[in-house]
Amino acid sequence: MERRAFLASLGTAALASQVPLRAQEGPAAASGRITLLHTNDTHSRIEPFGPGNGAISGLGGVSRRATLVRQLRQQLGSVLLLDAGDTFQGTPYFNRYKGRLDYQLMRMMGYDAGTLGNHDFDNGVGMLVEAMEAMEQLQHANAPFAFLNCNFDCKGAPALQKWIRPYLVKDFPGVRVGITGIGVAFAGLVAPKNHEGITWRDPYESLKPVVKRLREVEKVDLVVVLSHLGYNLNGTGPDDLHLPGQVAGIDAVIGGHSHTFLETPTRVPQAQGETLVFQVGFGGVNLGRLDFAVARGQVRAASGAAMPVLA
């Protein structure tokens, strides 16, 4: 990635954060801005990609991502840091530390919420819960982050159930944000013994009541879905691209699973407004950024870009 392209990615994403609003002049709750920073399919890629990995050689790395997030938080203020699942599996770090390190580093970076991907079940529910517990037990100023999912029925796995929340609401000056999560079907991806006690439900149908509650009861201004369905399955299963047409009222789908490299979010028109569908590759090569300007409960401007995590 050249310097100019990097600058362009910052510039494109920043546009929504520069749209003039009356937020600063009017009532506190009337309007505001929020930036969503996000990753997906980081796959235990703690260190940057080494040489011999083609176009992504030298990119990524948790330490640099932490710096980038910190800088953006300092600059923008209203920021959520989110992840779309498949944190686990992919490097020897996972084999050795069983995901505990990944989740602890995510807390250190200040993640607010994440969802679960199929690979997060690779060592079974017990190991997944152990990693969550290790994250919570870490002595750190940042609060533990939330695990969001609304289409896994975890009644048969109570140890996991207590960690999973259907949604999260976060308040920022002038913007109230609701976040939820959905996961891909286990069939053919997760060995039955590794998701014992958890039943997968249709993500579209599972989302509808959650989005309705976020809009009508929680009165959020912005609805964000962390999805591990995959970007486009060409009609063979539920996916991110078709989600906005199936479930109304979603402003952003932050996706994962298909390792799709998008440079900017795909805008999917809705009956009212549009949904931004985004995914930024895998392995922490990019940090995604979505900026929303909200006024009186309506999205006035939205933009986004993938920001390469450069050496």
Pairing of strands 175-183, 167-172: antiparallel
> Near other proteins by CB under 8 A, which window of 72-80, 146-154, 198-206, 240-248?
72-80
Size of the site for other proteins (CB under 8 A): 59
Task: Give dist(CA 249, CA 211) in Å, integer.
Answer: 7
Question: Any contact of residue 139 with other proteins (CB under 8 A)?
Answer: no
Beta carbon of residue 248, minimum distance to other proteins (angstroms, whole number): 30
Q: Other CB atoms closer than 10 Å to residue 57's CB: what's the count?
A: 13
Q: Please, which residue, 6 or 219, has the CB nearer to other proteins?
A: 6
Query: Residue from 3, 28, 139, 272 that binds other proteins (CB under 8 A)?
Result: 3
Contact flags string 77-96 toward other proteins, x per CB under 8 A: x-----------xxxxxxxx
Q: Which of 8, 30, 159, 248 binds other proteins (CB under 8 A)?
A: 8
Within residues 156-195, the interface with other proteins by CB under 8 A covers 187-193
Considering beta carbons, is residue 23 or 210 the nearer one to other proteins?
23
**Cα separation, 118 vs 204, whole angstroms:** 18
Residue 7 binds other proteins, judged by CB under 8 A:
yes
CB of 89 to other proteins, least distance (A): 5
Nearest to 119 by CA among 215, 17, 195, 226: 195
With contacts defined by CB under 8 A, name the span among 8-16, 129-137, 174-182, 247-255 that binds other proteins.
Answer: 8-16
φ, ψ (nearest 5 deg) of residue 75: -80, -40
Helix (H) / strand (E) element for 167: namely strand 167-172
CA distances from 295 to 72, 173, 246, 287 (A): 22, 11, 26, 26
Q: Which of residues 11-70 bind other proteins (CB under 8 A)?
A: 11-12, 14-15, 18, 24, 46-47, 52, 61-64, 66-68, 70
Q: What share of the chain is helix, strand, coil (3-state, %, to 5)?
A: 30, 25, 45
CB of 277 to other proteins, least distance (A): 18
Minimal distance, residue 296 CB to other proteins, in Å: 20
**Which string of DSSP letters, residue by residue, matches 90-146?**
SSHHHHHHTTHHHHHHHHHHT--EE---GGGGTTHHHHHHHHHHHHHHS--SSPPPE
87 or 180, CB closer to other proteins? Answer: 87
- Of 53 and 161, the one with the shorter C-beta distance to other proteins is 53
Q: Is there a contact between 97 and 123 (Cβ–Cβ < 8 Å)?
A: no
Kindly state the tokens that stand for 286.
């990019």
Q: State the Cα–Cα distance between residues 282 and 267, nearest whole angstrom.
A: 21
Q: Does 271 bind other proteins (CB under 8 A)?
A: no
**What is the greatest pairwise CA distance in the chain?**
57
Report the interface residues with other proteins, using CB under 8 A: 1-8, 10-12, 14-15, 18, 24, 46-47, 52, 61-64, 66-68, 70-72, 74-75, 77, 89-97, 101, 104-105, 108-109, 122-123, 187-193, 236, 263, 309-311
